[in-house]
Structure 1
Amino acid sequence: MPDTHQKQMTPKAMALLALLAVIWGGSFLSNRVALGEIGVLSVVGFRVLGGAIVLWIAIFAMGLPRPKGLHRIGQFLIMGFTACALPFSLIVWGQQHIDSGLASILNASTAIFGVLTAALFLGDERLTRRKALGILIGFIGVVLCVGPDALHGFDPSSLGQLAVLGAAVSYSMGSVYTRLYVRDLNPQVSAAGMLAGASAWILPFAIWQDGLPDFTYSLPVWGAIFWLSVVASALAFMIYYKVLADVGAGNFSMVTLMIPPVAITLGALAYGEKLPLSAYGGFALLALGLLVLNGKVKLPGLAPRAAPTAPLASNPQAPTGIAHPKAQNTPKRP
């Protein structure tokens, strides 16, 4: 049975959540820096391959059980495509046309799409009135972020915004697949396998599109690659599971609201990005929608939030839909 006790946020947990927000918020700036010298698919390739290598080294060092059976290869490929390869590529491509801060705001809609997709495909995730209201508020926020001009024509900026929204939908589909078929694996192993599967998809296309890397990149680009692969993928995943176990899925999802301010600030400092007021208004509505979804905002006539059985990832970096360790029937770590 999953742990239904509402866990409290300690100062240490809040500090780790803030650290994750900085790490994942910084990934949007890192994408923009890397795009200055590297193609879209190569940026994603460096990220998923580097993250997979570091995570697998950590798994062997910790003595965690490795996956067995050829069917795991297919599962990792599906997870890698829907939860990493496709959404990462859409986000990085979209950032060629829109600011980092706007990309981070639109990406926050992942939580909205995740709840809607889970209600459609997962029997234990009913679409209650509270959830429906939260989704509606969130979608209004998305429309406000995108702006009415996007409805009149598909210029590069509009396509960039739609690409990031497409990434959010892809994350939600990857979340559902993982919850349905890969609940029995240790979550760290699932994350490593997902990144390895994403590498198998991305690397051939990256070489075909961009050619073999020459590795003569500038120091800032190498720093961006390091941040994306080692910090925002491997290290962040390890912190992710520690914080998730301490605070629970409901509290953890609040990190979604902490990422855009970090990305907006970094984009403004590094590139002088200035977002329109509609983007901030849209983020405010997205935030309200997420708070309603999680029961943090009490509304009359709506049922209180039930404790989630497993987290649906609400950001582009977290291993989407990988269940809380206590919600799985896996051996305990040594």
Structure 2
Amino acid sequence: MRAPFQKFGDHPPVASEITPREMFESRRDFIRQMALGSIASAGLLEMAQREVFAQNAGAKLAAVSNPSYISLDKKTAYKDATSYNNFYEFGTDKSDPAETASSLKTRPWTVTIEGEVKKPITLDIDSLLKLAPLEERVYRLRCVEGWSMVIPWIGYSLSNLLKKVEPTGNARYVEFISLADKRQMPGVNRPVLQWPYTEGLRMDEAMHPLTLLTLGMYGEVLPNQNGAPVRLTVPWKYGFKSAKSIVKIRLTKDQPRTSWNVSAPDEYGFYSNVNPDVDHPRWSQGSERRIGEDGFLTRKRKTLMFNGYSEVASLYSGMDLKKFY
């Protein structure tokens, strides 16, 4: 049988060995405060991590795959899709955006929707993310320069946003205006185009289910060089129609001026549908090279009308698409 007080030694504890109640209570309060401080510090750390996470192009973005938009084409490798880009706000070379777009701050970010609407609004990026269920759609993207990619985009039909602002009967076009900040975007300091970058669609084009308000790609938020934090993806039109880093959407009665049409009206029309029968003055549009497919020795593939998205053909019934290029 173990003797009483054996855990203290061979003798009962004396007063000097007993912690005074006041000290015990104060020590317990001290430990409680330390624990609360640790929790608070952890909370602050978590907040800081969330902010970094929000700025990080590798942040995951959950979306449900839409079976109506699954391409049988092999997807372009993420590395190729994020290192070979046209984004003149960050430079004119294809490699410039990946090298310089880290200066873009995507939080905080707001998009204003105004013009011929009954309910103009300004939404932050988190509100845009929650506006409608996010879908993953695998779209082909065709560039006017003769190259193409196949990318799993994340977003939802632009019509979800446009319906929210209730367009008036005068709304015939939709204008998209990109950020033009000389401090964040080195290319804006050069007069390559008239800044800010502006694009536009006819109202029925903007409302078509294929037109995607895009917030991510490859299961992640958009990388800066691909148009973060919100861009447009219009898969049946040449890539320059898909405005990047959008800060304003304006519904208008008159056809908006668009950046490339203003810069070179003989080369870039307002519609800019993928049409293999209408050549660019400097490039044939009859064929294309898929980026990432064994380099420049790869045999070119035939370009399809509307980039293969024949479901939009009815939008242009009766139009001469050689005249309205």
Q: TM-score range by the shorter chain?
A: under 0.3
- Which of these two proteins has the greater Rg computed from alpha carbons? 2
Higher relative contact order (CA 8 A, sep 6+): 1
Structure that is richer in strand per residue: 2
Q: Which has the higher helix share?
A: 1
- TM-score relative to the length of structure 2: 0.27
